[in-house]
Amino acid sequence: MNKKTFLAPAIALLGLTCAAVSAVADDDPVIMTINGKPVPRSEFEYSYNKNNGEDVIDHKTVEEYVELFVNYKRKVEAALEAKYDTMASYKKEFRQYRDQQVEPTLINDDDVEREAQKIYSDTKKRIGPDGLVNPRHILIRVGQNAEEAEMQKAAQRADSIYNAIAQGAKFEDLAVALSQDPGSARRGGEIGWIQHGQTLPKFEEAAFALKDGEVSKPVLTEVGYHIIKMQGHKQLEPYDSLRADIYNFIEKRGIREAMAKNRLKEIAEVKGMTEEQVMDSRADSISALSLDMKYLIQEYHDGLLLFEISNREVWDKAAKDEAGLEKFFKKNKKKYTWDEPRFKGIAYHTRDAADVEAVKKSVKGKKFADWAQILRTTFNNDSTLRIRVEKGLFKKGDNGLVDRNEFGVNDAKIKEVKDFPNNATFGKVIKAPEELSDVRALVVADYQEAMEKEWLKELEARYPVVVNQEVLKTVKPVTK
């Protein structure tokens, strides 16, 4: 499990919350102490309401949620005690998550509005008094290094198209049928509104010289001959009518983020601080004014700690404990049963018929875990592949060849492999898992769960919790 995948559900389900404070306001009483540290009611209330909304399937009462909250807080306390929060890698990652929330607050709506108006003003200046034009075109392509004969042929074709239009042929139909600009051809030659500087100079010169409804004679540019039809002219619309589009442009192009980063640099220079110090100060200021932001920042802070310590104490530790996993599997072997048999082996295809038996002989008597390496080095160790193999535990329906050969399904559909006409299987049908590798994923998950329970017992002994039941009764679930 990676940290990004973990953080979202961890925050949503575990209620990651704010670190304990030394003093609590009169209207925010202490709801519990964990290892002697007070937890304000607002922290628990925020966590409870965030994780028990309408979309939550396993809805908890306030009393039921206490155990989840306490277990989480104990894990974070253990991570702090282990000083995981002092690791350089942790600090860097936490700042990245935190700054994603804080950095946007460096600018406000007025800043964005000024930027939007600036974009409009700059655009209007670029467009200039000539405004915008809306041409269609038909293109006959000619390479820049084309020989004279090719140039003449293209010119003649362009002339014939122009003459057809002059005699009444519909421009749009000819564009679809004959234009060698695929993008605009599909739209009947439609290019869209353009301004000076957006296209090839010679094309632009010809287009802006046309009146509405006029069609140009063939115009030669760097890419070929164009026949241009002018559909209309206009000036840039008023700001208010384009405001929504400009705002959408700002969001899509990441301009808002760039503005925030520029503002951060400006503040750092003016105050003689590093950008990191500015962000620390900003986060503190916002947290002092907004409990939601305070607890959101703490979610990232504690969520990363929770990931780190859970990985070390449970997830990664359990997954790598081969001796422990083997022992756990043997002790709980009866738990891992199947509702139907499995075929443990290989379904394979060979180029030569002789290799069908050769494959069986090469792996017979060897450990199942080693089969893939044996087959690879024996049969596919050079540029010529002799076999195609699928190895694993197959239940009925997983593989047509296995279904026919091992489960007796006469009408099984077998997927043939080109150039490998000989199909075979080798292995055995088993009614229940024989070894850890047969159900490793399930065993790892169960072993992790068992280790987690033991860890929680240890944390319970290390970090005592006292809950103020009277304050707990005052927690207000949010109703929507």
Cα distance between residue 425 and residue 360, in whole Å:
9
Helix residue ranges, H only, 186-254: 201-209, 239-252
The mean pLDDT value for 360-367 works out to 96
The mean pLDDT value for 311-334 works out to 96
Name the percent of the chain lying above pLDDT 70.
94
Query: Is the pLDDT confidence value at 11 over 50?
Result: no
Q: What's the pTM?
A: 0.72
CA distances, 152 to each of 142, 156, 200 (Å): 10, 6, 22
Q: What is the pLDDT of residue 135?
A: 98
pLDDT tens digits along 22-42: 334 458 999 999 999 999 999
- Per the document, the length of the chain is 480
Helices then strands (H, E): number in the chain? 20, 9
Residue 136's H or E segment, with its range, is strand 132-141
Q: What is the pLDDT of residue 6?
A: 53
CA distances, 336 to each of 103, 432, 449 (Å): 50, 7, 15
Give me the sign of the Cα torsion angle 266, 270, 275, 278.
negative
DSSP 3-state of 456: helix
pLDDT tens digits along 407-466: 999 999 999 999 999 999 999 999 999 999 999 999 999 999 999 999 999 999 999 999
The mean pLDDT value for 186-205 works out to 95
Among the ranges given (57-61, 113-117, 239-243, 336-340), the one the predictor scored with the smallest mean pLDDT: 57-61
